[in-house]
Amino acid sequence: MILDVGKVAPHQTYNLLIGLVAPRPIAWITSVDLVGNVNAAPFSAYNYVGTDPPIVAIGVGNRPGPGVIGKDTARNIRETGEFVINVVNEELAERMVLCAVDFPPGVEELAIAKLETAPSSLVSVPRILESPASLECRELTTMEIGRSRVILGQVVAIHVKDEFVDPSGPYIRAEQLHAVGRMNGKGAYVRTRDAFFHIPRMNYQEWLAREKS
């Protein structure tokens, strides 16, 4: 099957892309509106795209239908320039999905999902207390491309619960963190518990030595 993206409906392209660019990490984003309401919503069009400085990218689509109805998260980030990305583990997955309900602006998803917040250290947006880790971010830019907003943010502080930090690197004890990923959009997610395998990376000399042996 070959799809000419110019000839199919956007939702068909979406269905294929999210099934193929997978599994995806989930940015559970907290943001604050101009009157101080805390908003929380998940976004899996997400990754880090730089480390020095640390940069993350998030894709936020407009709501379906005619006209431009942006999502609260994108609006809040534009208006305040700050947000926090909270990491989602197995234990939090159902409550994360609850935060994706299209509640009207001003509804505090975290209260509905029975989650608590904790103050951040450098930004005024709170983080989700129950989350194993959170990235405090400042907006670098928001690009509007068609019906999407691509947000680039700079990570300014990183919180990790001590139990998930191996101080020797420091590294993240990823095998213990049990992060979840999003798959094809039909409500499918993946666990990372007991799912790790390791492939040591070689340099050229090691590869040559292996070829000769």
Ligand X SMILES: Cc1cc2nc3c(=O)[nH]c(=O)nc-3n(C[C@H](O)[C@H](O)[C@H](O)COP(=O)(O)O)c2cc1C
Cα angle for residues 48, 96, 56 (degrees, 5° grid): 10
| 55 phi and psi angles, rounded to 5 deg | -125, 135
What is the rounded distance in angstroms from the CA atom of residue 72 to the CA atom of residue 102? 10
What is the rounded distance in angstroms from the CA atom of residue 203 to the CA atom of residue 64? 48
Residue from 30, 38, 43, 142 touching ligand X (CB under 6 A): that is 43
Site residues (CB under 6 A) for ligand X, limited to 133-172: none
Residue from 30, 32, 38, 44 touching ligand X (CB under 6 A): that is 44
Residue from 17, 55, 57, 97 touching ligand X (CB under 6 A): that is 97
Span interacting with ligand X, options 4-12, 59-67, 124-132, 165-173, rule CB under 6 A? 59-67
What is the rounded distance in angstroms from the CA atom of residue 53 to the CA atom of residue 81? 17
| Shortest Å distance, C-beta 87 to ligand X | 13
Indicate whether 61 belongs to the interface with ligand X (CB under 6 A).
Answer: yes
| Shortest Å distance, C-beta 173 to ligand X | 23
- State whether residue 11 is helix, strand or coil: helix
Span interacting with ligand X, options 9-17, 58-66, 79-87, 137-145, rule CB under 6 A? 58-66
Indicate whether 79 belongs to the interface with ligand X (CB under 6 A).
Answer: no
Site residues (CB under 6 A) for ligand X, limited to 173-192: 182
- Burial (CB count within 10 angstroms: exposed 0-12, middle 13-18, buried 19+), residue 62: middle
| Shortest Å distance, C-beta 40 to ligand X | 7
β partners of residue 40:
30
β partners of residue 41:
29
Residues that bind ligand X (CB under 6 A): 26, 39, 41-45, 59-61, 71-73, 97, 100, 102, 182
